[in-house]
Amino acid sequence: MGQRILSIIIPTYNEEKDICTCLNSLKKQSFKDFEIIIVDDGSTDRTKEFVRKFKGVRVIEGKHKGSAFSRNLGAKQAKGSILIFVDADMTFDKNYLKNLVRPLLKDNKIIGTTHDYEIVKNMDNIWSKCWGKVRVSKKESEKVKIFRAIKKDKFLELGGFDPKYGYADDQTLWIKHRVGPIVSENTTCYHKNPETLEEIYKQSRWIGASINNPLFETPLLKYFSPFLLFLISPIAIPILSIKKIYKLKNFKIILPMLVFMSARYFGSISGISRKIYLNKNYR
DSSP code for 178: -
Determine the length of the chain.
283
Residues 245 and 138 in one domain: no
Residues 10 and 142 in one domain: yes
Interhelix angle 221-231/254-273, nearest 10 degrees: 160
Is 65 among the domain residues?
A: yes
Q: What is the pTM of this model?
A: 0.92
Is 141 among the domain residues?
A: yes
Residues 182 and 239 in one domain: no
Q: What is the 3-state secondary structure (H, E, C) of 230-262?
A: HHCHHHHHHHHHHHHHHHHCCHHHHHHHHHHHH
DSSP code for 17: T
The pLDDT score that the predictor gives to residue 215 is 65
Q: Which of 162, 191, 220 is the last residue of a domain?
A: 191
Residues 153 and 204 in one domain: no
The pLDDT score that the predictor gives to residue 114 is 98
Measured CA to CA, the distance from residue 146 to residue 169 in angstroms comes to 9
Q: What is the 3-state secondary structure (H, E, C) of 66-122?
A: CHHHHHHHHHHHCCCCEEEECCCCEEECCCHHHHHHHHHHHCCCCCEEECCEEEECC
Q: Which of 168, 191, 214 is the last residue of a domain?
A: 191
Amino acid at 82: I
Q: How many CB atoms lie within 10 A of CB 231?
A: 11
Residues 186 and 224 in one domain: no
Residues 181 and 74 in one domain: yes
Q: How many CA atoms lie within 13 A of 230 on its CB side?
A: 11
Residue 55's domain is classified under what CATH number?
3.90.550.10
Is 226 among the domain residues?
A: yes
Q: Which of 165, 191, 217 is the last residue of a domain?
A: 191
Residues 207 and 271 in one domain: yes
Is 283 among the domain residues?
A: no
Is 178 among the domain residues?
A: yes
Measured CA to CA, the distance from residue 268 to residue 283 in angstroms comes to 12
Residues 37 and 171 in one domain: yes
Residues 81 and 173 in one domain: yes
Count of domains forming the chain: 2
Residues 37 and 104 in one domain: yes
The pLDDT score that the predictor gives to residue 4 is 74
Closest CA to 6 of 30, 22, 24, 40: 30
Q: What is the pLDDT along the chain (283 residues), one digit of tens a residue?
A: 446 799 999 999 999 999 999 999 999 999 999 999 999 999 999 999 999 999 999 999 988 999 999 999 999 999 999 999 999 999 999 999 999 999 999 999 999 999 999 999 999 999 999 999 999 999 999 999 999 999 999 999 999 999 999 999 999 999 999 999 999 999 999 999 999 999 999 999 999 998 776 666 777 778 888 999 999 999 999 999 999 999 999 999 999 999 999 999 999 999 999 998 998 888 8
Is 1 among the domain residues?
A: no
Is 244 among the domain residues?
A: yes
Residues 31 and 93 in one domain: yes
Residues 62 and 136 in one domain: yes
Amino acid at 256: P
Is 119 among the domain residues?
A: yes
The pLDDT score that the predictor gives to residue 1 is 44
Q: Which domain holds residue 178?
A: 6-191
The pLDDT score that the predictor gives to residue 62 is 84
